[in-house]
Amino acid sequence: MSDHVHHGAVQIPEIRLGSRASGIERTAGVIGALGLLLCCAGYWANHEHFFQSYLFAFLYWAGFGIGGLGVLLLNNVVGGKWGVTTRSLLIAAMRTLPIIFVLLLPILFLGLKDIYPWTHPDLVSQNEYLWHKKGYLNVPFFMVRVVIYFAVWLFWGWRVTKMADRQDQTGDETLLVRMRQFSAPGLLIFVLTATFAYIDWVLSTDVQFYSTVYGAMILIGDVLQTLALTIVVLILASKTDRFGGRINSSLLHDLGNLMFAFTIFWTYLSVSQLIIIWPADLPQEIQWYLVRVRGGWTVVAAGIAIIMFVVPFLALLSQARKQNPNRLIRVAIWILCARAVELFWIVEPTFRNKGFALYWTDFAAFIGVGGIWVYVYLGQLRRRPLLPLRDPRVMAPSALPEAAAL
């Protein structure tokens, strides 16, 4: 291994998050703890409403960890300086998977019967759709699949992280090839397991709905929100040009283009599902959309088309906006907020099928789970240099506008 170490290479400065990030981390932890206390009160007040809210909050924040692993593996396979420069941020997001698993435990041990109809034997025996699926949708097999999903994700994530850390220590360029070779099959396995995970966790809350693109649609949304978060953190952390100009207009343009591409991809999958199901008008499938365009949900559905596609699409058409950190960060924050609305529309109408409804537990669960996730994410990020230390693909320095440091 020592034969491949390039001692003469110039090492990139070891830049880490500063004291302001530590303050944000502590604040997030406190807010998360208080939110979870409210969740406990919500559970005792109405456990059905609570777990409906908790499922939405869990899926949104888990999307960053799952999406972080997906984007990390994707970049290792296809290459690109954007992925190397953002690697530490993606690894930090991926390394929140253990806490995501812990946050799933309340659903697994307390909330299954409040969320999933297939956990009720009397309903399964009376419903032909559930009866047909009982070999797959049953509690023991559901639990086994959850363990398998997280075991697979953690295995690939930790192995890639270990190789990345080894490269930081030694500068061994052969590790780039090894990461690519290891990530290629991992990306395929990741897409399959994540797709099935979302079929299990979200699609199975519906008694009869069936869609072949459902899991992929949610997964692409995860990738989109992960890219948006990465852009936000990267721009904030690079203020005052602590990165020596490596976070420049060219890199931001690449990240903006990626966000633009996945916005279109998400739209393609969403529209594909709609144009297949709506004209067919099959009772098994159409009901999923009917409850989502009923009452106040109609407004939400129309709003999603605008905030998740029209606004980001038009905003990211501009080359100048993608190259300007102050303008690009606003688009990224918009997408983060829009994604929360879109995921709420996907999850909640299954339970609130008589019209739009908001519960106070929606906010408590979102804040509680979100605060804990942000706390763990920033903790992971603070433990790592923000840039790879010996990767030759890190962009060469150039100018970036100055502002206050994070």
Cβ(382)–Cβ(90) under 8 Å? no
> Which is more confident, 73 or 353?
73
Q: What are the CB-based long-range contacts (under 8 Å, 24+) for 4-7?
A: 4/170, 4/171, 4/172, 4/173, 4/174, 5/170, 5/171, 5/172, 6/171, 6/173, 6/390, 7/171
> Is residue 388 a part of any domain in this protein?
no
Enumerate residues 6+ apart whose C-beta is below 8 A from 41: 364
Give the three-state DSSP class for 142.
helix
> Which is more confident, 303 or 175?
303
- pLDDT single digits (tens) 359-395: 999 999 999 999 999 999 999 999 888 888 777 776 5
Nearest 5°: the CA angle 55, 336, 53 is 20
Query: For position 227, what pLDDT does the model report?
Result: 96
Query: For position 361, what pLDDT does the model report?
Result: 95
Report the 3 state secondary structure along 327-342.
HHHHHHHHHHHHHHHH
Say whether pLDDT at 302 is over 70: yes
Query: For position 10, what pLDDT does the model report?
Result: 47
> Is residue 389 a part of any domain in this protein?
no
Distance CA(92)–CA(204), nearest Å, equals 30
Say whether pLDDT at 401 is over 50: no
Q: CA nearest 76: which of 224, 177, 189, 174?
A: 177
Joined together, the tokens standing for residue 179 give 């990461």
Crossing angle of helices 214-237 and 87-94, in 10° steps, is 130
Say whether pLDDT at 12 is over 80: no
Say whether pLDDT at 183 is over 90: yes
Joined together, the tokens standing for residue 36 give 């979870």
Query: For position 11, what pLDDT does the model report?
Result: 60
Distance CA(148)–CA(152), nearest Å, equals 6
Q: What are phi and psi of 136, to 5 degrees?
A: -100, -45
Cβ(247)–Cβ(235) under 8 Å? yes
Instruction: List the end-to-end C-alpha distance of the chain, in Å, as a whole number.
Output: 37
> Is residue 87 a part of any domain in this protein?
yes
> Is residue 371 a part of any domain in this protein?
yes
Query: For position 398, what pLDDT does the model report?
Result: 44
DSSP at 348: G
Query: For position 19, what pLDDT does the model report?
Result: 77
Mean pLDDT of 316-331: 93
Query: For position 334, what pLDDT does the model report?
Result: 97
Query: For position 240, what pLDDT does the model report?
Result: 67
Distance CA(26)–CA(40), nearest Å, equals 21
Say whether pLDDT at 400 is over 70: no
Mean pLDDT of 243-272: 89
Host H or E run for residue 111 = none
Q: CA nearest 232: which of 333, 91, 86, 93?
A: 333
> Is residue 5 a part of any domain in this protein?
no
User: How many domains does one find in the chain?
Assistant: 1
Q: What is the pTM of this model?
A: 0.92
Alpha-carbon torsion angle 231, 237, 240, 242, nearest 10: -110
Q: CA nearest 155: which of 74, 233, 73, 245?
A: 73
Say whether pLDDT at 148 is over 90: yes
Cα separations in angstroms, 47 against 38, 50, 108: 12, 5, 14
pLDDT above 70: percentage of residues in the chain: 92
Query: For position 389, what pLDDT does the model report?
Result: 77
> Is residue 401 a part of any domain in this protein?
no
Query: For position 406, what pLDDT does the model report?
Result: 43
**Confidence label for 45 from pLDDT (cuts 50, 70 and 90):** very high
Query: For position 170, what pLDDT does the model report?
Result: 82
Average pLDDT, the chain: 89
Distance CA(4)–CA(323), nearest Å, equals 36
Query: For position 90, what pLDDT does the model report?
Result: 95
- Looking up tokens 């930081």, which residue turns up? 168
> Is residue 235 a part of any domain in this protein?
yes
Say whether pLDDT at 7 is over 50: no
Residue range(s) defining the domain that contains residue 214:
15-382
> Which is more confident, 400 or 280?
280
**Confidence label for 316 from pLDDT (cuts 50, 70 and 90):** very high
Strand runs (DSSP E) across 64-127, as ranges? Answer: none
Say whether pLDDT at 179 is over 60: yes
Query: For position 282, what pLDDT does the model report?
Result: 80
Least confident segment among 92-106, 216-230, 265-279, 331-345? 265-279
Mean pLDDT of 327-336: 96
Nearest 5°: the CA angle 90, 88, 168 is 140
Enumerate residues 6+ apart whose C-beta is below 8 A from 401: 325, 326
* For the chain, the helix, strand and coil percentages under 3-state DSSP, each to the nearest 5: 80, 0, 20
pLDDT above 90: percentage of residues in the chain: 67
> Is residue 146 a part of any domain in this protein?
yes
Query: For position 111, what pLDDT does the model report?
Result: 92
- pLDDT single digits (tens) 89-115: 999 999 999 999 999 999 999 999 999
Q: Is the torsion defined by CA of 310, 314, 317, 319 positive or negative?
A: negative
**Confidence label for 8 from pLDDT (cuts 50, 70 and 90):** very low
Give the three-state DSSP class for 81.
helix
> Which is more confident, 388 or 58?
58
Joined together, the tokens standing for residue 98 give 């253990």
